Structure 1
Amino acid sequence: MDMLPHANCIIMEHRLVSGLNLRQVDVFRAVMKFETVTAAASALGSSQPTVTREILRLETTVGFTLFDRRRQRLHPTARALKLYHAIEQAYAGLDHINNSLHRMRTADGEILQISSLPTFAQSLLPEAVSRLQRETPGVTVEIDSGDPRNQSPISGFNFDLGLIEGDYDESTTEVIHLATFQQVCLIPRGHELANARGPLRLHDLDGQSFISLGPKDPYRLILDKMLDEAGVSRRIPVIIQSANAACEMVAQGLGITIVNPLTALSHAGDRAVLRPFFPDAKFVVSALHPVDRPWVDSAGKLVEHLKAVCAEVNARLKTYSDAA
């Protein structure tokens, strides 16, 4: 970076004054970003002496040296790098606000914000959103693939509708039951259990290669407990967090798995067979709505489409049960 003149005359001892102004922030950011006073001045449409003065004033304002001056060059100090990081975070927040404003200005109608577990973003939402768009063409749907329960009610839920598995007991949200499904077994085509008659039972898993979900998955914990109580032992060659990935492992012939039917249905076909499983392990799908967030019309419409899609999925699953 270009050397600033008179740098040695700066005395910083306990001279903190009022906070930074926007001009100082812009100049500092430009010097850090473009690495020389010359380039920063050009980017700002200013002159080198002006930028130099602003940097000196900035150092006086903050009360410590931001640049080491060596061999006619400026080298950012550790404090300068930390300040730059904080400023960039602030600009990122401002960019987020501006992007949100832009989306609101350009949207033809409502903006519906959804926070959904990945399973539902890949299975239920595509069809439900398609129906919503046909019914309400102007709506813009923003989907965040995360667990809405991880958002803090203190800082505020940032969604109009959240999709979760199971129930949820929290006064900050309204819980809407969408559907209850039965967990199913996905089996590689050609496997000895693929053509067995009737629902699969716990003892059918004894000695089988089993693709297991992660150790903290609530449905794995339930299944493990049932198998332990029944004295059933499995071989577990793969443990994986994602139900979708577990199904793909099954399709590769690595073993069988028990997962939610929404995910299993998308993998049933040439490489894998879907079979009902007993005892019935319920898989509940719920929608969440923050009670302090006004309802948007499109959220209510999407809930109805989700219920319809869930009912259709349950009807498809019944054909597998009947066939078994």
Structure 2
Amino acid sequence: MNPELNLRQVDVFRAIVKFGTVTAAAAALGSSQPTLTREVLRLEASVGFQLFERRRQRLHPTARALKLYHAIEEAYSGLDKINASLQRMRAASGEILQVSTLPTFAQSLLPEAVARLHSEAPGLTIEIDNGDPRSQSPISGFNFDIGLIEGEYDDPTTEVIRLGAFRQVCLIPAGHPLASGTGPLRLQDFEDQAFVSLGPKDPYRLILDRLFEEAGVTRRLPVTMQSANGACEMVRSGIGVSILNPLTALGYLGDRVVLRAFAQAPAFEVSALHPVDRPWVDTAGRLTGHLKAICAEAQQRLQALHLI
């Protein structure tokens, strides 16, 4: 049975592949050419197959050696991430708060909440990842203090904090026939209308499709978008109407866009997640408080606009 590689042998092998000559690798490692030459011979004896072909005073890795090199580089990339994280911790003058959020909240809820938190804790560093925190788990490893999601969620590995409950609203291009009038719009009002829809797997898209299908209402779908903000941009450009979450929609009100209530509007809930096995940091609680306050303010604004 061949012995396993030690760290010194890995460093020698990596340096030779990277620099191409024993002389250059020795200089990089602070060693001598004769010493490294002997170590290469012992290395090849240890692995049990040839690692290098010697041509024109250079060492060319064999096919097997390249596979080994790629495996080593993958391991080193993990170490690089660890060191990069360590450097961020050293550079931060205060606490580091990690947030994982759906993209729609990174553009609607979070900016104001982060601004309020930074006014209280100017030394705080906040790292925001635009990904679904529900895709993480104790097995893959939680990498957030606070995660922002929409809809229901029930999992024993996370604490769920309700931030706000809303109803979706209609976005109409200014000047569109549906932009005028009072009272909530109904499913039948969208008959034969150009409708900007979310992606085919979006849960709110599926709910709306079912509602229109059950009501026998046919829409035209000229554009499908993966993001709520992208759909709002399409409405603002006059492509069609849409029905979306009110937090994103409010950011477009008055910018060539009219908002109207929707009688059969699906519920839209916003929640924060906190991994139960992750220590609770003070700034996570304060950020959650600001998010709750902003959701309450949005609810009041929607009420004043007669959108709920």
What TM-score bracket applies, with the shorter chain setting the length?
over 0.9
Partner residue, 2:97 = 112
Q: CA deviation at 1:101?
A: 2.1
SS in 2 for 1:269: coil
Q: Do residues 234 (structure 1) and 219 (structure 2) align? A: yes
Report the AA paired with residue 34 of structure 1: F
Partner residue, 1:209 = 194
What percent identity do the matched residue pairs reach?
A: 71
Contact 2:94 2:124 in 1 (8 A): yes
Q: What is the root-mean-square deviation in Å for CA atoms of aligned residues?
A: 1.8
Q: CA deviation at 1:44?
A: 2.6
Report the AA paired with residue 69 of structure 1: R
Report the AA paired with residue 204 of structure 2: Y
Partner residue, 1:255 = 240
Partner residue, 1:245 = 230
SS in 2 for 1:123: coil
Report the AA paired with residue 300 of structure 1: G
In structure 2, C-alpha distance between the alignment counterparts of 1:58 and 1:273, rounded to whole Å: 71
In structure 1, C-alpha distance between the alignment counterparts of 2:274 and 2:186, rounded to whole Å: 37
CA gap of 1:251–1:36, structure 2 versus 1, over 3 A, is farther
SS in 2 for 1:141: strand
Partner residue, 1:4 = none
Q: Do residues 34 (structure 1) and 34 (structure 2) align? A: no
Contact 2:17 2:60 in 1 (8 A): no
SS in 2 for 1:321: coil
CA gap of 1:33–1:196, structure 2 versus 1, over 3 A, is farther
Q: Give the unaligned 5+ runs of structure 2.
A: none
Partner residue, 1:16 = 2
SS in 1 for 2:179: coil
In structure 2, C-alpha distance between the alignment counterparts of 1:155 and 1:240, rounded to whole Å: 29
Q: Give the unaligned 5+ runs of structure 1.
A: 1-14
Q: Give the stretch that moved more between structures: 292-301 or 107-116.
A: 107-116
**Deviations 1:2-40 (CA, angstroms, capped at 9, x unpaired):** xxxxxxxxxxxxx622x2222221222122222333332
Q: Do residues 265 (structure 1) and 246 (structure 2) align? A: no
In structure 2, C-alpha distance between the alignment counterparts of 1:274 and 1:149, rounded to whole Å: 31
1:1-324 alignment, distance < 5 Å: 16-17=2-3, 19-70=4-55, 72-321=57-306
Q: CA deviation at 1:70?
A: 4.3
Contact 1:123 1:262 in 2 (8 A): yes
Q: CA deviation at 1:105?
A: 2.7
Give the length in aligned residue pairs. Answer: 308
In structure 1, C-alpha distance between the alignment counterparts of 2:198 and 2:143, rounded to whole Å: 29
In structure 1, C-alpha distance between the alignment counterparts of 2:13 and 2:263, rounded to whole Å: 66
Report the AA paired with residue 290 of structure 1: P
In structure 2, C-alpha distance between the alignment counterparts of 1:247 and 1:89, rounded to whole Å: 41
In structure 2, C-alpha distance between the alignment counterparts of 1:73 and 1:33, rounded to whole Å: 12
CA gap of 1:23–1:215, structure 2 versus 1, over 3 A, is same
Q: TM-score, normalization: structure 1?
A: 0.89
Q: CA deviation at 1:103?
A: 2.4
Report the AA paired with residue 46 of structure 1: S
Partner residue, 1:9 = none
**Deviations 1:31-67 (CA, angstroms, capped at 9, x unpaired):** 2222333332333333333332222222222222222
Q: CA deviation at 1:72?
A: 4.8
**Deviations 1:135-181 (CA, angstroms, capped at 9, x unpaired):** 22222211111000000222431211111001211111111100011
SS in 1 for 2:200: coil
In structure 1, C-alpha distance between the alignment counterparts of 2:234 and 2:24, rounded to whole Å: 54
Partner residue, 1:12 = none
**Deviations 1:110-138 (CA, angstroms, capped at 9, x unpaired):** 22111111111111111111111112222
SS in 1 for 2:178: coil
Q: CA deviation at 1:75?
A: 2.4
Report the AA paired with residue 226 of structure 2: Q
In structure 1, C-alpha distance between the alignment counterparts of 2:34 and 2:255, rounded to whole Å: 72
Contact 1:276 1:320 in 2 (8 A): no
